Amino acid sequence: MDPDAPFILGDGFELDYGTPRLAVPSISTPASGRSRSPVAQSQQRADRELPLLQLDDWDPCVDHEPTPTCIHYSIEWKLQLRKGILSTLTEITEENLMLAPSAYWDRFLKHMLAARVQDKLSESRHQPDETKISWGAVEDKLRAWRHLFWEGKKLRINICFIYKETNGNTLRTHDDVPEDIRQLLREQEELLAELDLVIPKPRDEALMRYCQWHCNQVRSPTWKQGFVHAYQVTKEACLDLNHVYKAQDVGFYTEQHVKLGIARSFVGDVYLWAKDV
């Protein structure tokens, strides 16, 4: 998809976070004394009933709702390199998300991005160019569109994290680096630092202890069985916890019939567990 193309309201409704040109469909207000239109009624009902879930209200084991109780949306995100032309290094779509975008970024997406940057780009030759996202603005737009989701439209956020090649240009001192680039580099260093985990050995025992830690966080037998299933899938593939965390491959687990919420927690909580052991 052309990142500069305007969104189209049809079977879906997209928020393009390349260089976005956003618009909100106009909804006429009925004259005083007249009955509200079905569209206006739908918007009023959605405004009242469909929130964006924060972590405290989010159930990671619920990945499908026959009757929605919150806003559902998808994120299509890309890691791109600007080197003369813009090339895409990674393109991933996360479907049917219920956790608010800012919370999803903190819990999952920033770790996935850091892992891809470490895997695809050289720290000495590449630096962030366009990687800052205003999650508050994104969430405001989703709230403005929730009546469309209530009517059966699909909401999608398109995000491009763009890095650029330095082309061998040398910055002689720290003061030569623009402040906005310094801030982006600090954020990148913080994200990559989180990937340098110290996992206890033996590795197979650490994996078993990690599974037990997850099981101790829940009471539901269904959840416990889900975490045991994720553990078995990981063990059979001979993956250790560093592999799990750096790959951030939720799809690997869902393809093995691990529930989506369980898969996201199993992949995303390695850092939290490693800090505590």
- Residues 252-273 as b/e (b if ≥16 CB within 10 A, e otherwise) read bbbeeebbbbbbbbbbbbbeeb
What are the E-state strand segments in the chain?
12-17, 73-83, 85-97, 126-130, 154-165
Q: What's this model's pTM, rounded to 2 decimal places?
A: 0.54
Cα atoms found within 13 Å of the Cα of residue 61, Cβ hemisphere only = 12
Residue (of 82, 111, 97, 264) closest to 194 by Cα position:
111
**CA dihedral sign of residues 179, 180, 186, 189:** negative
pLDDT for the residue 46: 47
Distance of alpha carbon 210 from alpha carbon 229, whole angstroms: 13
Residue (of 260, 247, 249) closest to 72 by Cα position:
260
Alpha carbon distances (Å) from 194 to 18, 58, 274? 26, 24, 10
CB-based contact 235:212 (threshold 8 Å): no
pLDDT block averages, 10 residues each, the chain of length 277: 41 50 37 47 56 84 77 92 86 89 89 83 76 88 88 90 74 51 62 65 92 92 93 93 85 90 90 81
CB-based contact 82:121 (threshold 8 Å): no
Q: At a CB cut-off of 8 Å and minimum separation 6, what does 78 contact? A: 88, 89, 90, 91, 92, 159, 160, 161
Distance of alpha carbon 129 from alpha carbon 131, whole angstroms: 6
How crowded is residue 186: how many other Cβ atoms within 10 Å of its Cβ? 10
pLDDT for the residue 76: 92
pLDDT for the residue 152: 87
